[in-house]
Amino acid sequence: MRGWRSWCAVGLVAAMGFPGAAWAGVEVDLLLDKLVEKGVLTHQEASDLRGEMAEFKDAGNKQLAKEIVPRWAQSLTISGDMRLRSEHFWRDQTTSATKTRNRSRGRLRVGAKAKVSDQLEAGFRIATGTNTDPISTNQSASDSFDKKDVFIDQAYLKVTTVGTPLEAMPLTAWGGKFENPFYGTPMVWDGDLTFEGAAVSLAAAAGPVKGFLAGGVFPLEELGANGGDPTLWGGQGGATWAVAPGAEAEWLNALTLKGAVGYYDYANLENGVDVHESSAFGNTGTVSGASAPFRFVPRNDYDYNELNVTGEANTKLVGLPIRLHGDYVKNVAIADDDEGFQLGFKVGTADKPMAWEAGYSYQRLESDAVFGLFADSDFGASGGTDRSGHVYYATLGTLNNSTLGFKWFVTEEIDGTDAGVDRLQVDWLTKF
Asked if pLDDT for residue 3 goes beyond 70, the answer is no
State residue 47's pLDDT score: 82
pLDDT digits (tens, 9 = 90+) for 375-415: 999 998 888 999 999 999 999 999 999 999 999 999 999 98
Number of H helices, E strands in the chain: 5, 20
CB-CB contact of 373 with 135 (8 Å): yes
Mean pLDDT value across the chain: 89
* 46 band by pLDDT with thresholds 50, 70 and 90: confident
State residue 70's pLDDT score: 65
State residue 19's pLDDT score: 43
User: Which of the two residues, 373 and 42, has the higher pLDDT score?
Assistant: 373
Mean pLDDT of 268-278: 92
Phi and psi at 22, nearest 5°, equal -60, -30
State residue 382's pLDDT score: 85
pLDDT digits (tens, 9 = 90+) for 7-26: 454 455 444 444 444 445 56
Task: Mean pLDDT check: name the lowest of 88-97, 106-115, 170-179.
Answer: 88-97
Task: Mean pLDDT check: name the lowest of 3-17, 32-46, 349-363.
Answer: 3-17
Mean pLDDT of 35-47: 79
Strands (E), 94-208: 96-115, 120-128, 139-140, 150-160, 171-178, 195-206
Total-model pTM: 0.83
Task: Report domain 82-105+189-431's class.
Answer: mainly beta
Asked if pLDDT for residue 6 goes beyond 90, the answer is no
Neighbours of 233 (CB within 10 A): 15
Q: What span, in angstroms and rounded, lies between the C-alpha atoms of 21 and 420?
A: 69
Phi and psi at 269, nearest 5°, equal -65, -25
Contacts (Cβ under 8 Å, ≥6 apart) of 309: 259, 260, 261, 262, 327, 328, 329
Comparing C-alpha atoms, which of 106, 265, 134 is closest to residue 194? 134
Domain range annotation of the chain? 2-68, 82-105+189-431
State residue 314's pLDDT score: 98
Neighbours of 166 (CB within 10 A): 12
pLDDT digits (tens, 9 = 90+) for 194-245: 999 999 999 999 999 999 999 999 999 998 766 789 999 999 999 999 999 9
State residue 23's pLDDT score: 42
Q: What span, in angstroms and rounded, lies between the C-alpha atoms of 422 and 380?
A: 7
Asked if pLDDT for residue 290 goes beyond 50, the answer is yes
User: Which of the two residues, 35 and 98, has the higher pLDDT score?
Assistant: 35
Task: Mean pLDDT check: name the lowest of 4-8, 147-151, 185-189.
Answer: 4-8
State residue 415's pLDDT score: 87
178 burial class (0-12, 13-18, 19+ CB within 10 angstroms)? buried
Give Cα 240 distance to the centre of its chain.
20
